[in-house]
Amino acid sequence: MLEVNSIYLYRNKKQIFKNFNLNLKEKEIILIAGDNGVGKTSLLDTISGLINPKTGSIKINGKEINEIGEFRKNYFSYIPHKNCLKENLSINENLLSWLKLLNIEINNQDYQTKLKIFNLTNLQNKLINKLSHGQKKKVALTKLLFSNTKLWLLDEPFNGIDQKSSKSLKKVMIEHTKKNGCILFSSHIEPDIKFTKKVILKKTINKLQTKTFDNWEVL
């Protein structure tokens, strides 16, 4: 499903990753763990194609990420840590425009059922700029409920959401893997969810006193 082979990543002339490898198969969940600032977001941005590594390859279903281009939405769903919702639109307007972009049709009953999962029913007409950080995160996560992609990339999905929503998210993730889906997600705090593998990113300092993140291990 996902193959990351020997990627080297530099940003602002600083080495972020050196010879990083990862394989994610159907029905697997892999946790990218580590403190804030060790490169978890950079890794997910690279895998999603937002950042180009200096060397190495990233393949999804056997296809190079840079060959997928505008069809990426058909291969994976990426929920970044940074808010990417349109602030001047309501929850409904954001979700419905996203569904239209993906050519996904859904009846109102099913739509309302999915809003209930993260307790957004009473907020659906509220503007995004009036929501809390946790509420915005739940709107972004709701997109997963409509997604037809097998691969999910999630950056700090549990950060900022309430306990009830965390339980709902765990259930959604587990159900996704039961349908042959797979998930790569990051977290600086290890959540109470069963995962296949854990990749720990560690911050080190090289001889030039430049921060690098090439020290990693798979448990």
pLDDT of residue 70: 67
pLDDT of residue 14: 77
HSE (side-chain half, CA atoms, 13 Å) at 25? 2
Tell me the pLDDT tens digit for each residue of 46-61: 999 888 888 889 999 8
Report domain extents, the chain: 2-218
Q: How far apart are the first and last CA of the chain?
A: 20
pLDDT of residue 166: 94
Asked if the model's pLDDT at residue 219 lies above 80, the reply is no
10 Å Cβ neighbour count for 148? Answer: 9
User: How many angstroms separate the CA atoms of 219 and 213, rounded?
Assistant: 17
CA neighbor of 172 nearest in space, from 29, 33, 32? 29
Tell me the pLDDT tens digit for each residue of 104-150: 889 999 999 999 999 999 999 999 999 999 999 999 999 999 988 99
Question: What confidence category does residue 204 fall into, taking pLDDT thresholds of 50, 70 and 90?
Answer: low
Tell me the pLDDT tens digit for each residue of 153-198: 999 999 999 999 999 999 999 999 999 999 999 998 888 888 888 8
Question: What confidence category does residue 203 fall into, taking pLDDT thresholds of 50, 70 and 90?
Answer: low
Tell me the pLDDT tens digit for each residue of 136-149: 999 999 999 998 89
**Amino acid letter, 149:** T
Tell me the pLDDT tens digit for each residue of 3-37: 998 888 877 777 777 888 999 999 999 999 888 87
Quick one: the chain helix, strand, coil %, rounded to 5? 35, 30, 35
Sheet-wide strand order for 55-60: 14-24, 2-11, 55-60, 63-64
pLDDT of residue 172: 96
Please tell me whether the overall predicted TM-score, pTM, comes out greater than 0.85 for this model.
yes
Asked if the model's pLDDT at residue 212 lies above 50, the reply is no
Among 46-55, 69-78, 202-211, where is mean pLDDT lowest? 202-211
Domain 2-218 is of which CATH architecture?
3-Layer(aba) Sandwich (3.40)
